[in-house]
Structure 1
């Protein structure tokens, strides 16, 4: 689960933050006696604020949640499926799928940014006749990146993103190799991994 406005208490193995999906404040406990995973408990805004104003109350709540674990009324779900009811495992599955989808967008963004850096390198050594096609490629990738950031980039349905669309043959072989490799990486990841957002 990805929380925002996270505050961490390392000494007592818990953190608090806000979950945008459930629109709830969450106390996340790190459980280490059976592997390493988190248990999540829904808490109030007031309990979240205890971190700053009355941390001892929050530590006591954390210890109470730990002692009662899955039986505590604030228990939301655990990353360890055996802790959960079938309904809670559905929540876990939903959160895992959501995080996976968000990570795909982050990975694609990182690949596009790497490709744009390769375009910069190629432009530095390219002749004037090739700089126009590289500029078109940059504009195309920046447009794709903007759509991705705004959440309007469609799923690939197995199609390529067109990273190699405007790249013409360049004179410098070392630059062209890295440029084509970065372009192919963008196209391959998008067509294979981004069939559905």
Structure 2
């Protein structure tokens, strides 16, 4: 799970310099959320998924500029899919 979050964070960092200020701020907020989840994983406080997602795919789709970046979208989908399918219980 942590690797998937790191991959998404890496994709976010790759594109931050090439976006407008509003999108950059949005990406910064996503990065903070990623860090919160990584901290929960480290402290064993992450909730089981019960088949749900973390919402990263939807967060990327909410911004048209971001939705068109395949590598970012794919990384977000990978996080949500892994959490939904593999983290049903700890």
TM-score bracket, shorter-length normalisation: 0.7 to 0.9
Q: Aligned match of 1:135 in 28, 31, 43?
A: 28
Offset of residue 171 of structure 1: 6.5
Offset of residue 142 of structure 1: 0.7
Offset of residue 164 of structure 1: 3.0
Q: Note if 1:182 corresponds to 2:68.
A: no
Give 5+ residue unaligned stretches, structure 2: none
Cα 1:172–1:111 change in 2 (3 A) is closer
Query: Higher relative CO (CA 8 A, sep ≥ 6), structure 1 or 2?
Result: 2
* Higher percent of residues as strand: 1
Offset of residue 161 of structure 1: 1.4
Q: Deviations over 1:40-96 (max 9, x none)?
A: xxxxxxxxxxxxxxxxxxxxxxxxxxxxxxxxxxxxxxxxxxxxxxxxxxxxxxxxx
Cα 1:196–1:152 change in 2 (3 A) is same
| Number of equivalenced pairs | 88
Per the normalisation by structure 1, the TM-score is 0.42
Offset of residue 127 of structure 1: 1.4
Which of 1 and 2 has greater Rg?
1
Per the normalisation by structure 2, the TM-score is 0.88
* Equivalent position of 2:64 in the other structure: 169
